[in-house]
Chain A
């Protein structure tokens, strides 16, 4: 149980295009979903927290107009990287929590984005 999927697993795009990454909780309903970014050989950094039906809360330094997050249902959250640039190339990982707050987070397998 508690499986989280991400799609796509890898994406390569041209600079200036937008890319959408999906995060799905497959066997549970997620009140809260988190989006993390991990640069090569570095740690995971939280980008934003989203609760179903409400606007995402972004961490300091993360541009909300560039990284659009939608949490339209209890099983799906999407992250759209708009007008992607090479510096956005990274490993994006989502996690989902059943009850939110300090409840356990279940992580997706990650999406590797390469912007040419």
Chain B
């Protein structure tokens, strides 16, 4: 079973629209970390956020916001007023404390976001 599910394979929006990327995770650990990364066409992964399992506070960073809900095992990512430069593949990832090799990042399949002008 997938441990990190990003159900949206591709999303296309028009500039200035808000868009939410979904991430659902599965773990039996009580201590874990969740991440979001951006991968632009150049290929380099850009770190966006890291959240530990004990911190359910939502986070806002500029146009980006994250909604972490343990009750639904979700860690969704919203981009407000999207811009063309936001076009990229976005990965959600999970790091478990006891998942075999500690610290391994388990990536979702990614969501390709296209923002059109």
Question: What residues make up the interface of A, taking CB atoms closer than 8 Å to B?
Answer: 32, 34, 42-46, 49, 57, 91, 93, 95, 97, 100-110, 112
Which residue from chain B places its CB closest to the CB of A111 in the assembled complex?
B43
- Total number of residue pairs linking A and B with CB closer than 8 Å: 54
**Alpha-carbon gap, A99 to B43, bound state (A):** 25
Chain B: minimal CB distance from A37 (Å): 11
Q: List, sorted by A's number, 24 A–B pairs whose CB atoms are closer than 8 Å.
A: A34-B105, A42-B109, A42-B110, A43-B107, A43-B108, A44-B45, A44-B105, A44-B107, A45-B107, A49-B101, A95-B105, A101-B102, A102-B31, A102-B95, A102-B97, A102-B102, A103-B103, A104-B47, A105-B105, A107-B44, A109-B43, A110-B44, A110-B45, A112-B43
A110 B43 Cβ-Cβ under 8 A: yes
Question: What residues make up the interface of B, taking CB atoms closer than 8 Å to A?
Answer: 31, 33, 37, 42-45, 47, 50, 91, 95, 97, 101-110
A43 B44 Cβ-Cβ under 8 A: no
With A102-B95, A102-B97, A104-B50 in contact, do A46 and B45 touch (Cβ < 8 Å)? no
A102 B91 Cβ-Cβ under 8 A: no
A107 B45 Cβ-Cβ under 8 A: yes
Known: A102-B103, A107-B37, A110-B43. 6 other contacts (CB 8 A): A34-B104, A46-B106, A100-B103, A102-B95, A110-B45, A112-B43
**Alpha-carbon gap, A112 to B44, bound state (A):** 11
Most chain A CB neighbours (cut-off 10 Å) among B37, B105, B108: B105
Which residue from chain B places its CB closest to the CB of A97 in the assembled complex?
B103
Which residue from chain A places its CB closest to the CB of B4 in the assembled complex?
A43
Chain A residues lying within 8 Å of B107, measured Cβ to Cβ, are: 43-45
Which residue from chain B places its CB closest to the CB of A58 in the assembled complex?
B101
Chain A: minimal CB distance from B105 (Å): 6
**Alpha-carbon gap, A91 to B110, bound state (A):** 15
With A91-B43, A107-B45, A109-B43 in contact, do A46 and B104 touch (Cβ < 8 Å)? yes
